[in-house]
């Protein structure tokens, strides 16, 4: 938790806040075309990273989310585990967490077999596991992750992944966008 507070404070000092007028035209754009940065979205950026780059950015996300001693093991001989970290619940309770990263294009879902393989790799090494993907999970994968009598595997799909990056403001610049209040201007018509 100390790591989160230290980095949050450091980011506050570095953060640049932009004010964007959505009606402002980009000087380089064609007439009538509105300037926008929507073409560069977080999910596309994450999907464009190398597999090892995605593992490393997930390591940073876990650190910013309160994990300590987060390391990427990665590589071809990683035994189905891309990394590990420690999550401290309180001064008396902490546990080791293993994670696996799946950088997939939209529509390529993590399968039940991949969740089962990850869980098998976890046995005897940690009580908790997380699979992080830039895509989603098949229904069978979700069922396997929550199977009775087996260690639960947390599943982080693309939507939850984006929310987590936004929550800790990792790799993102905060923008303020103003919308026109048409009701205000109505009295001047």
Q: What is the pLDDT of residues 133-173, one digit of tens each?
A: 999 999 999 999 999 988 889 999 999 999 999 999 999 98
Q: What is the dihedral of CA 97, 102, 103, 104, to 10 degrees?
A: -150
Which segments of 114-189 are extended strands (E)? 128-133, 136-137, 153-156, 175-177
Please tell me whether the overall predicted TM-score, pTM, comes out greater than 0.75 for this model: no
Asked if 171 contacts 57 with a C-beta cutoff of 8 angstroms, the reply is yes
User: Furthest-apart CA pair in the chain: how many Å?
Assistant: 72
Architecture label for domain 2-186? 3-Layer(aba) Sandwich (3.40)
- Domain residue ranges of the chain, discontinuous segments joined by +: 2-186
- The CA–CA distances, whole Å, from 38 to 19, 34, 42, 43, 45 equal 15, 11, 10, 11, 12
For residues 175 and 68, the model is more confident at: 68
């Amino acid at each position: 938790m100390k790591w989160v507070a230290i980095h949050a404070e450091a980011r506050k000092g570095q953060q640049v806040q932009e004010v964007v007028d959505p009606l402002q035209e980009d000087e380089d754009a064609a007439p009538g075309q509105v300037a926008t940065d929507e073409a560069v979205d977080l999910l596309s950026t994450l999907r464009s990273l190398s597999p090892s780059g995605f593992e490393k950015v997930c390591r940073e996300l876990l650190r910013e989310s309160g994990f300590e001693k987060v390391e990427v093991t990665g590589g071809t001989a990683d035994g189905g585990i891309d990394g590990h970290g420690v999550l401290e619940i309180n001064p008396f309770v902490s546990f080791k967490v293993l994670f696996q990263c799946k950088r997939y294009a939209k529509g390529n879902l993590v399968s039940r077999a991949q969740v089962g393989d990850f869980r098998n790799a976890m046995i005897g090494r940690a009580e908790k596991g997380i699979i992080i993907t830039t895509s989603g999970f098949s229904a069978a994968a979700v069922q396997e992750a929550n199977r009775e009598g087996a260690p639960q595997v947390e599943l982080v799909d693309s939507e939850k992944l984006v929310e987590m990056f936004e929550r800790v403001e990792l790799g993102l610049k905060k923008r303020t966008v103003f919308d026109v209040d048409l009701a205000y201007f109505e009295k001047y018509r």
